[in-house]
C-alpha cells in the first residue's frame, strides 16, 4: 500500500492506494482550526498513528515542497513555513511507519499521470477534472454555490502524488 500526502498548514490531503493502485482511503486533515504550528503537527501525527493500525503501508510519497520563490504565487515566508511543516510531517511519517518518504514534485506527478496544464489555466481545477475523469471512486461534494467543498483539491493532489508514486515504482504509464 502507498500513502500519498499533500502537506499544507491549512488542509493536508491523504490518500492510500492498495497494491493494485486503487483508492482505499482519500480524505483530509483540516488544520484550519489550529492556531499554532505544533498543534497542527500533533493533529497530523494523531491521524497517521490511526492509519498505521489499519493499513500496511509499504511506501510513503510526499509532494515536494516549493524550493524557489516565484513572484505572484508565494512569499519567501510562506515557502519557508511550508518547507518547515513538510519536514516535520515527513519526520512524523518516518517515525510512525519506519519508511523513508519519497518526494515527488507536483509537475512530475502531473506529468506521470498525463495531466497537461496550459499557461494561464487553473492547475487545481485541471487536476480535479482529470481525477474525476479517470478515477470513478473519487467523489466530490459541492457548496451551495457549486464550488468543490474545502479540502477537495487537497484530496485530489494527494491522490496524484500517491498514484504517481505507484506508477513510477511500477514503471507504468497512466491509463
Q: How confident is the model at residue 62 (pLDDT cuts 50, 70, 90)?
A: very high
The residues spanned by each domain of the chain are: 2-170
Asked if residue 65 lies in contact with residue 83, where contact means CB atoms within 8 angstroms, the answer is: yes
Residue 168 CA to residue 163 CA, distance in Å, equals: 8
Q: Can you give the pLDDT at residue 28? A: 96
Q: Can you give the pLDDT at residue 78? A: 67
- Name which of 51, 41, 20 is nearest 167 in CA terms: 20
| Minimum mean pLDDT range among 47-56, 118-127, 141-150, 158-167 | 118-127
Query: Which residue has cell 489555466?
Result: 121
The three-class DSSP label of residue 98 is coil
Which CATH fold topology does 2-170 show? Nucleotidyltransferase; domain 5 (3.30.420)
What are the DSSP E strand ranges found in 31-153?
A: 59-63, 102-104
Which of the 8 DSSP states describes residue 147? P
pTM over 0.75: yes
Decide: residue 120, CB within 10 A, 0-12 exposed, 13-18 middle, 19+ buried.
exposed
Mean pLDDT computed over 63-90: 72
Q: Can you give the pLDDT at residue 79? A: 73
SS3 content of the chain, % helix, strand, coil (to 5): 45, 20, 40
Mean pLDDT computed over 52-60: 94
Amino acid at each position: 500500500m502507498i500513502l500519498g500526502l499533500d502537506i499544507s498548514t491549512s488542509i493536508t490531503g491523504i490518500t492510500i492506494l492498495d497494491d493494485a493502485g486503487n483508492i482505499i482511503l482519500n480524505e483530509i486533515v483540516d488544520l484550519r482550526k489550529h492556531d499554532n504550528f505544533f498543534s497542527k503537527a500533533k493533529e497530523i501525527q494523531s491521524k497517521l498513528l490511526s492509519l498505521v493500525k489499519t493499513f500496511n503501508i509499504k511506501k510513503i510519497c510526499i509532494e515536494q515542497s516549493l524550493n524557489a520563490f516565484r513572484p505572484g504565487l508565494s512569499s519567501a515566508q510562506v515557502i519557508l513555513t511550508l518547507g518547515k511543516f513538510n519536514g516535520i510531517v515527513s519526520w512524523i511519517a518516518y517515525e510512525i511507519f519506519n519508511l523513508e518518504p519519497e518526494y515527488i514534485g507536483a509537475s512530475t506527478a502531473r506529468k506521470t499521470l498525463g495531466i497537461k496544464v496550459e499557461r494561464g489555466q487553473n492547475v487545481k481545477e485541471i487536476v480535479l477534472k482529470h481525477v474525476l475523469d479517470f478515477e470513478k471512486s473519487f467523489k466530490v461534494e459541492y457548496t451551495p454555490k457549486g464550488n468543490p467543498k474545502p479540502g477537495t483539491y487537497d484530496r485530489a493532489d494527494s491522490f496524484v502524488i500517491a498514484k504517481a508514486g505507484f506508477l513510477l515504482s511500477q514503471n507504468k504509464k497512466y491509463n
